[in-house]
């Protein structure tokens, strides 16, 4: 079975990351939805997961999200992640969520609401995606310290919106098609 989850869908900045996971060894027993864990808990279990799973990453840049829209961007990320893990058309694939963005060639692909909390391999994909994307955003914060990406990892917090208002958007990082960003762009023009 391949588990799939994404992170960053609702962010105003940074990429979406779709992670695909396949179990290759015993999974840790404390797996659950990454959103229900602290950063430290996720990072600790991440180390265990890298020994017990094969992972693949489907990154979708902010400019691709703006160009294609969210639904097509998610499909692109899923396609990249499944290709990277070499998912087979007859393999069971479970993705967290209610809308099936899976390529139609995967006959046993399905979406399940709360799969990231109910299906251990999807939990593994959830944790891997969250830690990997958060680390990307922390690195981005080093290059753009005024935005404090290490704190909000691109989500539309008050602090992030104030930074955009004060410093403008970062081209190729902020999602210009997202309403809060496009509204600020319009106001600043």
Residue 125 has pLDDT above 80, yes or no: yes
pTM of the predicted structure, to 2 decimals: 0.94
**C-alpha to C-alpha distance for 189 and 168, rounded to whole angstroms:** 10
Q: How many CB atoms lie within 10 A of CB 157?
A: 14
**pLDDT for 163 beyond 80:** yes
Mean pLDDT over each residue of the chain, to the nearest integer = 94
pLDDT class for 184, splitting at 50, 70, 90? confident
Mean pLDDT across 70-94: 96
Cβ–Cβ < 8 Å for 84, 54: no
pLDDT of residue 189: 60
Average pLDDT of the residues in 101-108: 91
Looking at residue 48, what is its pLDDT? 94
Angstrom distance (rounded) from CA 9 to CA 148:
19
> Which domains, from first to last, does the chain contain?
2-188 (3.30.420.10)
Is residue 130 pLDDT above 90, yes or no?
Answer: yes
Residue 98 DSSP SS3: coil
Q: What is the pLDDT of residue 188?
A: 65
User: In the predicted model, what is the mean pLDDT of residues 145-154?
Assistant: 96
Within 10 Å of residue 168's Cβ, how many Cβ atoms?
12
């Amino acid at each position: 079975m391949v588990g799939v989850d994404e992170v960053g869908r609702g962010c105003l900045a940074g990429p979406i990351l779709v992670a695909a996971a396949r179990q290759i060894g015993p999974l840790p027993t404390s797996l659950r939805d990454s959103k229900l864990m602290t950063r430290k808990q996720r990072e600790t279990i991440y180390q265990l997961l890298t020994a017990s799973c094969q992972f693949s990453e489907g990154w979708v840049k902010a400019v691709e999200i703006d160009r294609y829209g969210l639904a097509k961007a998610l499909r692109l990320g899923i396609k990249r992640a499944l290709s990277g893990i070499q998912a087979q058309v007859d393999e069971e694939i479970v993705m967290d969520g209610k809308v099936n963005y899976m390529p139609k060639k995967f006959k046993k692909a399905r979406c399940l609401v709360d799969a990231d909390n109910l299906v251990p391999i999807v939990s593994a994909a959830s944790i891997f995606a969250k830690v990997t994307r958060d680390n990307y955003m922390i690195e981005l914060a080093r290059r753009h310290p005024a935005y404090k990406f290490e704190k909000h990892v691109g989500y539309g917090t008050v602090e992030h919106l104030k930074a955009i208002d004060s410093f403008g958007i970062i081209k190729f990082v902020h999602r210009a098609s997202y309403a809060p960003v496009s509204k600020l762009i319009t106001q600043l023009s």
